[in-house]
């Protein structure tokens, strides 16, 4: 279990190289700097940004195969309701050769994400600054979402982007098991819950 900032940094460092850590350090600084102006993350979590936000996002990669993360695996990683970039921009910073699409409809968040992408030099990451329903569908290699929508609605809205090969990694906090149980049995059978590494009571809904 990752409970301190030091443990969170050490965990993320095992997933990337020095350049990746530098990107994430820069991203954390951007989030903290902007947070006083537009409340990107809860104030109480600022001292724990690596544990509560960066490592919490990075752990999603543990549930995705190396083949899926490869530069030539086809289709972008799609992150729904990206907000300030958790988890999508963290994924892009860790996997800079993989195309990542961040969907976010709030104008100030979109502006922040675009600035962050430019500052972190992530040319394969882009923002769709509109509601998901308005985005032209494409085949996604993976779909992630943090606090985007209840699971049934999320699966419905994301279905135009999902193929048989699409991986879902959905951090759902303490409601993960309950939300999964609410699905129809035929759909529920395709998913399972993994325990979060950053919160002993939280879960990640996975379809691999």
Contacts 24+ apart (CB under 8 A), 148-152: 148/80, 148/81, 149/80, 149/81, 150/179, 151/179, 151/180, 151/182, 151/183, 151/205, 152/182, 152/183
Per the structure, the count of domains in the chain is 1
Residue whose entry in the numeric block shows the structure tokens 């996002």: 57
* List of residues 6+ apart from 118 with CB closer than 8 A: none
Is the model's pLDDT at 70 over the cut of 90?
no
pLDDT in tens, 34-68: 999 999 999 999 999 999 999 999 999 999 998 88
Q: Which tops the pLDDT comparison, 18 or 69?
A: 18
Q: So what's the pLDDT on residue 137?
A: 98
pLDDT in tens, 86-134: 999 999 999 999 999 999 999 999 999 999 999 999 999 999 999 999 9
Domain residues for the domain of 9 are 5-207
Q: So what's the pLDDT on residue 71?
A: 80
Tokens standing for residue 6: 């030091």
Say what angle helices 18-38 and 107-120 make with each other, to 10 degrees: 150
pLDDT in tens, 145-155: 998 999 999 99
pLDDT band per the 50, 70, 90 thresholds, residue 72 = confident
Cα 86 from chain centre: 5
Tokens standing for residue 58: 């990075």
Computed from CA positions of residues 149, 140, 89, 24, in that sequence, does the dihedral angle turn out positive or negative? positive
Q: So what's the pLDDT on residue 83?
A: 96
Is the model's pLDDT at 73 over the cut of 90?
no
- Beta 100-103 vs 125-128: how paired, if at all? parallel
Q: So what's the pLDDT on residue 3?
A: 96
User: For 193-199, what is the mean pLDDT?
Assistant: 96
Is the model's pLDDT at 26 over the cut of 90?
yes
Q: What pTM was computed for the model?
A: 0.96
Q: So what's the pLDDT on residue 104?
A: 98
* List of residues 6+ apart from 79 with CB closer than 8 A: 87, 88, 89, 91, 100, 101, 102, 103, 143, 144, 145
Is the model's pLDDT at 74 over the cut of 90?
no
pLDDT band per the 50, 70, 90 thresholds, residue 208 = confident
The CATH number of whichever domain residue 79 belongs to comes to 3.40.50.150
Counting residues of the chain whose pLDDT is more than 90, the rounded percentage is: 92
Phi-psi region of 74 (alpha: psi -120 to 50; beta: other; left: phi over 0): left
Q: So what's the pLDDT on residue 45?
A: 97
């Amino acid at each position: 279990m990752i409970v301190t900032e030091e443990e969170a940094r050490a965990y993320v460092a095992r997933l990337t190289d020095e350049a990746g850590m530098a990107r994430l350090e820069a991203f954390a600084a951007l989030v903290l700097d902007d947070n006083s102006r537009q409340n990107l993350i809860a104030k109480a979590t600022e001292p724990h940004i690596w544990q509560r936000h960066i490592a919490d996002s990075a752990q999603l990669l543990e549930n995705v195969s190396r083949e899926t993360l490869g530069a030539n695996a086809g289709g972008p990683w799609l992150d729904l309701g990206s907000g300030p970039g958790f988890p999508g921009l963290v994924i892009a910073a860790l996997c800079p050769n993989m195309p990542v699409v961040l969907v976010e409809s709030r104008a100030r968040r979109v502006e922040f994400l675009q600035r962050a992408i430019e500052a972190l030099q992530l040319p394969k990451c882009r923002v769709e600054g509109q509601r998901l329903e308005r985005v032209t569908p494409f085949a996604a290699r993976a779909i992630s979402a943090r606090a985007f929508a209840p699971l049934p609605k999320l699966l419905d809205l994301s279905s135009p982007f999902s193929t048989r090969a699409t991986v879902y990694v959905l951090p759902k906090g303490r409601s993960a098991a309950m939300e999964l149980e609410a699905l129809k049995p035929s759909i529920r059978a395709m998913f399972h819950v993994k325990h979060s590494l950053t919160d002993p009571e939280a879960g990640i809904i996975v379809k691999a």
